[in-house]
Amino acid sequence: MTQRQLLQVLEEYLKGRMHFVQTMSELASRGQNMKMLKNANVMALLQPLMLDVDPSVQQIATQALGRLVGHSEEMAKELVQGEVLPQIVNSLPKHNNYYKKAATLVLRSVAKHSATLAKAVVDCGTLDSLMICLDEFDPGVKESAIWVLCHVARHNEDLAQAVVDAGAVPFLVLSMQEPEIALRRVAVSALSDISKHSMELAHIVAETGTIAILAQMILNPDTKLKRQVFSVLSQIGKHSVDLAELVVEAEVFPTVFICLQDPDEVVRKNVAILVCEIAKHTSELSQLIVNAGALPALVDFIGENEGSVRLPAVMALGYIAAHAETLATAVIMSLGIPQLTQVLSNEAEENYVRAATAWSLGQIGGHSSEHAVAVAGENVLPKLLQIYTSPDSSDDFQNKAKNALKNILQKCVHLPALEPLLRDSPQNILKHVVIQYSKILLSWVLGGLAGKDGEIQSHVLTSRTSFNDKCDIFNKEVIFSVPPSLLPKSPMSFQTSLRALCLQNSLQLPVANPQGALIKADAQNKRRRGEGKGGNRGFI
């Protein structure tokens, strides 16, 4: 065979290989071809081509493999078992930029599926090679390398720690300040994945002066960048009070509320998550946020959005209100409660959003009687009751509704709010309602008020039938403290209070015998007092 024929054959072989890998690469970019490619066992064919002599074949084969592996986890596992990864990683620093990009594509596709695969990638010594890649000038290479770090660090804390130990964080911070948008996006998302796991990692990210840089990026027009920036800030701020304070000191706060009305939904949600995480920690932080004008922004946000986007904002309101009574008043005065009731009553909402709303309402109303009155004024209590008693609410939802009800009821002494609850609440709720009634009655009986007797009569009567003999929780002191001097004075109010008292004591009195009741109760009182006196006699 002559030289020329040999060359021709070799050329054809090269062309064949090139053609094969190019086609594979194109096919692999579409998801629907995956099954077919798997059946054709294309991976076994591509793997040796990755170590091919010709660099362009190598590159395209690696790229094809990367795309293949990106679509399915089994292929990733196969690749890892085939022990090709160490070879890729070792050859990473030596080749040109295109190869680096293809190789990082492979690593990224393997690492993104699960933590074990990512660990396998890290075990091959990827991180060191990636640091070399990060030193390159070409922004595309940097971007792919950072993307690998992103996928690796995403899974769990050890992997993120490994990434940090390899010294990635300063590179990431530098890359954040590069002019290319794609590079910045990926760098910020890598920082977000690192800092989300634990406090130490977030601390490491925050101490390199990152937060100031991130704060400047908040008003960048690029949407995806903004998503990642808010995500990082919320991941940093969520771990501890110091970190949250660091975030707040970077003066993000009034500016952040602008982005609450960004056209992109994910950006809005991330901003709301940021506010929620910062408000969670202490009352000073909540105060700071409120002073910066969070309340109108959050309330408008809840009003304008739908679905699970609202959840962090609702929780933020709940946390703010939970810390201090002044803040709860501020929430009420910012018209937060109508919005929250609207969320609660909107049946199309997911249950967990409504559960969070119930919790928030409980936090707001639980501080004092004014708060409870404000909350109850929006007809919230019957709704909560309905949620608690309906059989198709989830356990978590019912629990939250019950706790919220209890919180509010323990402080509520407003009659019109308590009335609807008397009718059909279960025992444990009714207990609280009746205790509140007793407090009101106590003040009336002792003060001799003759106010809204008609209403309380009718309601007390209707509830009597539903309420038989379990009420020994009522304050017995009320009975003892009724002095006889009150008896003839204001018969109307006394009747009503008596009925309530007898109700508490589960005496089955006939409805239309007030005088008999008077006498009987009078006799009872006298008997009790007489016993007391007889007992004392011996002491003289």
Site for another protein contains 140 (CB under 8 A)? yes
Burial (0-12, 13-18, 19+ Cβ within 10 Å), 29 = middle
Instruction: Give the Cα separation of 128 and 69 in Å (integer).
Output: 22
Question: In the bound complex, what is the minimum distance in angstroms from residue 282's beta carbon to another protein?
Answer: 18
Phi, psi (rounded to 5 degrees) for 344: -65, -40
Q: Whose CA is closest to 424, among 400, 377, 389? A: 389
Rule CB under 8 A: choose which of 1, 2, 209, 263 binds another protein.
Answer: 263
Structural tokens at position 65: 């493999």
Site for another protein contains 270 (CB under 8 A)? no
Site for another protein contains 62 (CB under 8 A)? no
Site for another protein contains 25 (CB under 8 A)? yes
Contacts with another protein by CB under 8 A: the residue count is: 36
Site for another protein contains 36 (CB under 8 A)? yes
Contact region for another protein (CB under 8 A) — 18-26, 188-196, 385-393, 511-519?
Answer: 18-26
CA-to-CA dists, residue 226 to 161, 176, 203, 257, 426, angstroms: 25, 12, 21, 13, 49
Residues 276 to 315 in contact with another protein, rule: CB under 8 A: 290-291, 293, 295-297, 300
Site for another protein contains 54 (CB under 8 A)? no
Residue 2, helix vs strand vs coil: coil
Contact region for another protein (CB under 8 A) — 59-67, 191-199, 456-464, 474-482?
Answer: 59-67
Site for another protein contains 44 (CB under 8 A)? no
Instruction: Give the Cα separation of 2 and 393 in Å (integer).
Output: 84
Rule CB under 8 A: choose which of 11, 26, 249, 455 binds another protein.
Answer: 26
**Helix ranges restricted to H, 219-324:** 223-237, 241-249, 253-256, 265-279, 283-291, 294-304, 311-323
- Rounded to a whole number of angstroms, the distance between the first and last alpha carbons of the chain is 140
Instruction: Give the Cα separation of 274 and 485 in Å (integer).
Output: 63
Site for another protein contains 326 (CB under 8 A)? yes
Contact flags string 177-216 toward another protein, x per CB under 8 A: -----x----------------------------------
Instruction: Give the Cα separation of 243 and 410 in Å (integer).
Output: 36
Q: Which is nearer to another protein, 295 or 445 (CB)?
A: 295
Contact flags string 96-125 toward another protein, x per CB under 8 A: --x--x------------------------
Contact region for another protein (CB under 8 A) — 52-60, 81-89, 351-359, 495-503?
Answer: 52-60
Instruction: Give the Cα separation of 324 and 319 in Å (integer).
Output: 9
Q: Whose CA is closest to 473, among 433, 531, 518? A: 433
Kindly list the residues in this chain that would bind another protein in the complex (CB under 8 A).
22-23, 25-26, 29, 36, 39, 56, 59-60, 63, 98, 101, 140, 143-144, 182, 221, 254, 257-258, 261-263, 290-291, 293, 295-297, 300, 326, 329-330, 333-334
